Amino acid sequence: MDSVISKLRSLDAYPKINEDFYSRTLSGGVITLVSSIVMLLLFISELKFYLHAATETQLVVDTSRGETLPINFDITFPAIQCSILSLDAMDISGNQHLDVKHDIIKKRIDANGNVIEARQEGIGAPKIEKPLQRHGGRLEHNETYCGSCYGAEASHDDCCNSCEEVREAYRKKGWALSNPDLIDQCKREGFLQRIKDEEGEGCNIYGSLEVNKVAGNFHFAPGKSFHQSGVHVHDLLAFQRDSFNISHKINRLAFGEYFPGIMNPLDRVQWTQETPSGMYQYFIKVVPTVYTDFSGHTIQSNQISVTEHFRSVGAGQLQAFPGVFFFYDLSPIKVTRKLKYIGYKLADPEQDLTNQTLVTFTEGHVSFLHFLTNVCAIIGGVFTVSGILDSFVYHGQRAIKKKMELGKFS
pTM of the model: 0.65
pLDDT at 355: 39
- Contacts with 302 (C-beta within 8 Å, 6 or more apart), sequence order: 69, 254, 255, 256, 286, 287, 288, 289
pLDDT at 377: 92
CA distances from 301 to 67, 69, 92, 305 (A): 11, 9, 21, 14
DSSP track, 173-205: HT-----GGGSHHHHHHTHHHHHHHTTT-EEEE
- Contacts with 356 (C-beta within 8 Å, 6 or more apart), sequence order: 61, 62, 332, 333, 334
pLDDT at 196: 79
Q: Torsion angle of alpha carbons 8, 13, 18, 22, nearest 10°?
A: 180
57: phi then psi, degrees, rounded to nearest 5: -125, 140
Q: Torsion angle of alpha carbons 182, 183, 184, 187, nearest 10°?
A: -70
Are 94 and 215 spatial neighbours (Cβ–Cβ below 8 Å)? Answer: no
54: phi then psi, degrees, rounded to nearest 5: -100, 160
Successive 10-residue mean pLDDT values, the chain, 410 residues: 78 68 78 90 86 62 76 94 89 86 90 80 48 54 75 84 83 76 81 79 93 92 70 62 85 89 89 85 90 75 91 61 91 68 39 41 66 89 88 83 72
Q: Which amino acid is at 175?
A: W
The angle formed by the CA atoms of residues 342, 347 and 352, to the nearest 5 degrees, is: 170
pLDDT at 103: 87
pLDDT at 356: 44
Q: Is the dihedral of CA 103, 104, 107, 111 positive or negative?
A: positive
DSSP track, 236-276: -GGGT-S-----EEEEEEESS---TT---TTTTEEE---SS
Torsional class of 261: left (φ above 0), alpha (ψ -120 to 50), beta (otherwise): left
Task: Determine the Cα–Cα distance for residues 409 and 405; give it in Å rounded to an integer.
Answer: 8
